[in-house]
Structure 1
């Protein structure tokens, strides 16, 4: 029968697998052959292989599962292996979390191999893995205050790893199989209510945040837990943690958490924005204050703040007010810092001020990513806010100091405004273009010409007077750059 199935393309692979398992089964060959023959006779006699009705498909599916049921001894062996793998996942007390070296990298790689092994064991018996993880997780978190950090971390890590060991479509872990969904829901409920997020070790804190973000669909099933997780992100456990590593990762994970639960965020938007206010502040070099978050981390927070405002259920007037509250401190600080840069004599100070100015422009640019075709700047009532930003940032193009840094940031912001705004942005294009063509180099032209193409593609006939006005200045700038490059090449040859 099996050999016959090997000639049928759709059955060939499964027939080979079945034959392979029969050959490898640890039985006496004669007994094995008798068992296979008797099994075929039993199945064929009542017509189990002939599918006449729709219910026969369900019957065969259930019957096939009976053939692969583990014996009690096999279950015990598999469970023992699972527990041994879980134990091996545990960090050593000497692991250096703040300064990871070669030994730490080797252990991380070792952990990846153990995870693959656990995934394979899950294929043997997914129910057994789920039960084993649940037992370890529940017993550990019941007494997490008096348990070593490595045991607490690995308990949460195992819950995290179940998402890949027991995969489902689109992360729908809390629907479908009732027993599995119930077990995961119970463990997630324990995780967010146990207080383990306050554990005084970075590995546990990070694993907590990684896991709540991985199981974000849990919070659509039990939204009552959202406030306590938001608080964990926003206080000393997350964005204000003593470890820079935790703060940085929390900034990224917070952005993902809020994005995935966007529809559930509306009741908390203004509270979130108020609590994040000090984290959004620029840190000029002269104030001697080191911001809790790096500029890269702040980009995540600004983008998420913009998304919260734009996607909220507030009327346009309220959205405008919130966006202005978010961006006005940037505009005010930008004006002050630009004046200081113009007066700065020390080159190092000039560079640090220019970087800070560039960050301010970058933060404003990042908030504009919240808008879309469904939620435009105009529909949200935020056009004037961004026009004010544009008016504030454009003078930096005429600053003779740190031109490369300043122009790069303002060009990016102008690019975003051409995308997001309507005809009102055209008022600023001539002035911006004039400044960008002043004393420009070849790389400046490489950035400028795509902006002209972008404007032309969007506004078409409306931009015609500007193109006529800019043609000769642009041509002169191109010829000047070509001449300068020729002079440079000649001097190098001499």
Structure 2
């Protein structure tokens, strides 16, 4: 049978056998696992003096493990006490044979040792302490020669078993059943009482004997790992003794083992205990003296571990200081200790390696959080704490700078992205300092900004601009800084001083994209400054439209600058004045639409699924069209000039649509081009509507032409969802310009949209109609338009609502949203004096359907909003029917 198992496992794992044969082998292996006596065959196979392949022996132990785990869970009655006794003798016999010092054969591979340790651990859970009280004595004996821990083979297995035991009975990251948790508590109690002292002594003797041996690295490392894992639940006084600590501190001088020793110290300090005991422990360890003597810096990995140790200590001290019911003497002790450790934490924060810096982030965050709480409790910063906060702020600022090895890619490089993530976290620390002591924050940051703006290194200048942005954001958002409107506050005066220095500086001559981008961001973030310094606006406008901004040779900077230029125009539109036409001329070359289609599969012929390529950039370019709409609508532009400028922008779009449409149904790129043209019209219209200038009749005529061009496009390409979406978007944006003039176009729009519209599109369109009804209530043209479109619209809505969701959550949500939009649309009709349209000659045949649908959705829906809205609508609809409005 053993040979059959071996053969089956090897076939199952082979990649060069017949599929049917492989399936048969796997079925046989599963049969062995499930059979009552399979574990016996596999245990015998594993123990055989003729060693099988590692894969076969690993499988054998898996089968034994499954049997032991089933017994642990009470599901294996075949593995009775007699069987367990047999397993014990078999395991002891095997390890005494294979792990004795007399055995000169090759040791099991590490993964096999770990698997054997796991099997022994499962058996330990079943037998300790009742049937195998001498478990640890037997293992210690196995590891010894003449009473000394000299059997390297046995020691390795001994330590691996202890590590496996911790995972099973004490690892807090593993969730366990209540029964398992109770069992583990009992086992740990038994270990503490009966075996813990001898185990602690054994570990100490192992460290003494093996630390400095050439072949002792792995044994010493695993022994340290055992101590570090077990210390969380044993009596710490067994470990924290002068002799033990001297051993571990001594290992810190061993280059190959110091990392493991540092991890062990971190686990010792992390042990949960009362505050008074924790302070005593930290004081006893006297780690500051030790850390100051360690060779930090040459080994980044070890430095990171020491940073982690420092973080563990500081977190405990900060937690103690945050407790409210502690005697003053204890608080003073914790404060004194924290003052000793924080310089190390701040040094690690400044480390060139972000992994090391990140290790102390929790300490910095918790300390600043504590100090913010202290401020809210009206407890002033002591001089020592103020110095500590100042040191943190200075260190954070230095860490915020791009280092010499890093280039600017505006977030398109992995290493830069990691830096930007770290920078965002550091920025939070800086904001916390601002909330703790605003004067310290303002003085420090303003000095840094003013100093950096005088430098020529792009990294220095970028840091200054970044800090200026942080200061500006803080002034707007941080509760600790002066509120908005305090124009004469010291904080605002400092901000204006820094912004003025920026505009007077020569930093843009450096020509670095990071500087240019930060500069423009700051201009947009601080409109109040430019309201007070309007003479600077032409200078800023020139910067935006130059190669620094919207014409930058750096594509990512250019695209971002398009948005920032739009924001600048929107914020300063009332101050642009006579330079409006100059601004428009400067961006004219960018108001050109060139659609670029995303790469498609050669077999993909359906143009209903269109997508723009990453280099298409239409979303960014639309900001320029909206900015153009704002520019042509400032009061300084005469009506005649406005009309000419609008024609200059719209006519090329009309021409492009006229040329593209004939071939667009067959050419996906041209269809996408038409989509972009429609979006440009709608976005340009939004800019004009937001510009504030009264719309003249000639301007309105231009957008009537635009609406008709869109309707022609929609008629040709109504099968494309992106064209339908763009058309709805553009019409909604033209409403403020066209006013009632848009109403005659709406029935045509509805007819062409309803022929293809999906449920989400109908939802959006009902919202658009609701806005129209509200905007033009009482206007005869609105009633006539609504009367014409209501019947086909309601027919489309009812059809969409009649389609049952296929069980998917998304479709159910969509159906609910559709019902809400429908009820809101009916409510808009009633609330805006249009109820007569529901029972007009054109629509009265549908009125009963409307009434019944409202009643149905109200009574059947589980959504509270639908129930509430339907309940309010139904009586009003009944009243309309009762009055018999014709």
1:206 is matched with 517
> Is the alpha carbon distance of 1:292 and 1:473 closer, same or farther for their aligned partners in structure 2, counting shifts above 3 Å?
closer
Alignment partner of 2:646 out of 323, 334, 338: 323
1:60 is matched with none
CA deviations on 1:244-287 (whole Å, 9 max, x unpaired) are 2111221222222222222211232111100010111111559x
- For residues 384-463 of structure 1, the aligned pairs below 5 Å read 384-399=701-716, 403-437=720-754, 458=776, 461-463=780-782
1:131 is matched with 443
- Distance in 1 between the 2:520 and 2:398 partners? 22
- Distance in 1 between the 2:753 and 2:777 partners? 20
Alignment partner of 2:700 out of 383, 397, 419: 383
CA deviations on 1:447-483 (whole Å, 9 max, x unpaired) are 6666666555536643555556556766887899899
SS at match of 1:239: coil
Alignment partner of 2:468 out of 154, 159, 170: 159
* Structure 2 residue 625 is the aligned partner of structure 1 residue 302: yes
SS at match of 1:225: helix
2:543 is matched with 232
Query: Contact 1:244–1:292 (CA<8 Å) still a contact in 2?
Result: no
Deviates more, 1:319-328 or 1:427-436: 427-436
Query: Contact 2:685–2:733 (CA<8 Å) still a contact in 1?
Result: yes
- Distance in 1 between the 2:735 and 2:784 partners? 17
Q: CA deviation at 1:230?
A: 1.4
1:113 is matched with 425
> Is the alpha carbon distance of 1:77 and 1:420 closer, same or farther for their aligned partners in structure 2, counting shifts above 3 Å?
same
Q: Which has the higher contact order (CA 8 A, sep 6+)?
A: 1
* Structure 2 residue 675 is the aligned partner of structure 1 residue 358: yes
SS at match of 1:142: coil
SS at match of 1:162: helix
Query: Contact 1:119–1:164 (CA<8 Å) still a contact in 2?
Result: no
Kindly name which structure, 1 or 2, has the bigger radius of gyration based on alpha carbons: 2
Query: Contact 1:390–1:414 (CA<8 Å) still a contact in 2?
Result: yes
Deviates more, 1:269-278 or 1:440-449: 440-449
- Distance in 2 between the 1:119 and 1:248 partners? 29
- Distance in 2 between the 1:390 and 1:310 partners? 20
What runs of 5+ residues in structure 1 fail to find an aligned partner?
Answer: 1-16, 29-66, 345-349, 489-494
Alignment partner of 1:313 out of 636, 659, 670: 636
RMSD: 4.1
> Is the alpha carbon distance of 1:21 and 1:297 closer, same or farther for their aligned partners in structure 2, counting shifts above 3 Å?
farther
> Is the alpha carbon distance of 1:75 and 1:239 closer, same or farther for their aligned partners in structure 2, counting shifts above 3 Å?
same
> Is the alpha carbon distance of 1:79 and 1:412 closer, same or farther for their aligned partners in structure 2, counting shifts above 3 Å?
closer
Deviates more, 1:354-363 or 1:212-221: 212-221
Q: CA deviation at 1:358?
A: 0.8
Query: Contact 1:171–1:217 (CA<8 Å) still a contact in 2?
Result: no
- Distance in 1 between the 2:690 and 2:627 partners? 18
- Distance in 2 between the 1:381 and 1:159 partners? 46
> Is the alpha carbon distance of 1:306 and 1:318 closer, same or farther for their aligned partners in structure 2, counting shifts above 3 Å?
same
TM-score by structure 2 length? 0.42
> Is the alpha carbon distance of 1:292 and 1:236 closer, same or farther for their aligned partners in structure 2, counting shifts above 3 Å?
farther
Query: Contact 2:643–2:698 (CA<8 Å) still a contact in 1?
Result: yes
TM-score by structure 1 length? 0.71
CA deviations on 1:363-385 (whole Å, 9 max, x unpaired) are 11112223559947645852111
SS at match of 1:422: helix
* Structure 2 residue 647 is the aligned partner of structure 1 residue 333: no
SS at match of 2:453: helix
- Distance in 2 between the 1:135 and 1:373 partners? 40
- Distance in 1 between the 2:439 and 2:529 partners? 20
1:55 is matched with none
Query: Contact 2:471–2:495 (CA<8 Å) still a contact in 1?
Result: no
- Distance in 2 between the 1:100 and 1:448 partners? 38
Q: CA deviation at 1:293?
A: 7.7
- Distance in 1 between the 2:782 and 2:463 partners? 61
Query: Contact 1:316–1:381 (CA<8 Å) still a contact in 2?
Result: no
> Is the alpha carbon distance of 1:20 and 1:338 closer, same or farther for their aligned partners in structure 2, counting shifts above 3 Å?
farther
1:244 is matched with 555
- Distance in 2 between the 1:140 and 1:447 partners? 50
- Distance in 2 between the 1:475 and 1:212 partners? 50
Query: Contact 1:172–1:217 (CA<8 Å) still a contact in 2?
Result: no
- For residues 18-33 of structure 1, the aligned pairs below 5 Å read none
SS at match of 1:163: helix
SS at match of 1:394: helix
- Distance in 2 between the 1:183 and 1:131 partners? 9
